[in-house]
Structure 1
Amino acid sequence: MTTPAREKAQSLKTVFDNLYKILSRHSPPFKIKTGLVRNKRDLHLIAPKPVAIPGAYGGKPMDKAVTAIIEQKGYIGFYCSPGYFTEGLGADAPPEMMKFLKGKSCFHVTRLDAKLEKEIEGALKAGTKLFKKQGWL
């Protein structure tokens, strides 16, 4: 008999795997990096070249992620960095995503359905558009 904790862990694995597939479709133009978080499954979509952000890191060019997912205990962290370059996602975040918002641009995803997948895909397209506007793609 499977315990509830085991079922939840299996479902989080499925959520991570499905988010991984969604994010992977955006490479190219972004690069995929994994293994950046010790002892956790992760995926980061990175701009193809390091970018310099005025006022950040002393103007030194750094790798910049448009989004990342990290398997945490009890949820999958979905980090959508365009929220940091605007006033946050706030009211512009799609309604299904808003249910998972835990910060300015951090979402604790515990389940994934077709509607949420579509909204995440839309957020990725908006992030791609922002990165192009900034000249990072």
Structure 2
Amino acid sequence: METTTDLTLIFNHLRNLMKPFETGTIRARVDEEKRYDLWSEKQVVIEGRKRNDVYFAGLVIQRNYVGFYYMPVYVDEELKGVFKPGLLNLLKGKSCFHVKKMDDSLSQQIADALQKGYNLYLDRGWI
């Protein structure tokens, strides 16, 4: 992807990276022009509590950035250790990345993070 700061292009590109994970128990609960959310709709027990679903990742176009909400890093903070600085520098709070500019390197880092998060959920039986 060519480097861009166009938030709509960034959002659509990230949604395309996330779409392949919309499989099995993972469903898009919201797939709108400015928001996209993926949830695993599987009954699981997390920290002793029964849940009917688990949030995986999502996107929201905000005023000055695209929010990439990535729950696997909230679940397992060790995932931060595998992020390259380009992605890690965008992390605001525990699980939200503010994406203002997209290029090939960042795209690959996010694709890798999505795969690692998917594998984590798979290993925990959440998918």
Partner of 1:78: 68
Structure 2 residue runs of 5 or longer lacking an equivalent are none
- CA 50–61 in structure 1, closer or farther in 2 if over 3 Å, else same: same
The structural deviation recorded for 1:92 is 2.6
Matching of residues 1-137 of structure 1 within 5 Å: 11-29=6-24, 30-34=26-30, 41-55=34-48, 59-87=49-77, 89-137=79-127
Structure 1 residue runs of 5 or longer lacking an equivalent are 1-7
Which structure has more relative contact order (CA 8 Å, sep 6+)? It is 2
CA distance in 1, matches of 2:113, 2:96: 12
CA distance in 2, matches of 1:60, 1:18: 34
Identity, % of aligned positions: 31
Highest Rg: 1 or 2? 1
TM-score by length of 1: 0.78
Q: Which runs of 4+ in 1 moved over 4 A?
A: none
Partner of 1:4: none
CA distance in 2, matches of 1:77, 1:26: 18
CA distance in 1, matches of 2:98, 2:78: 16
SS where residue 23 of structure 1 aligns? helix
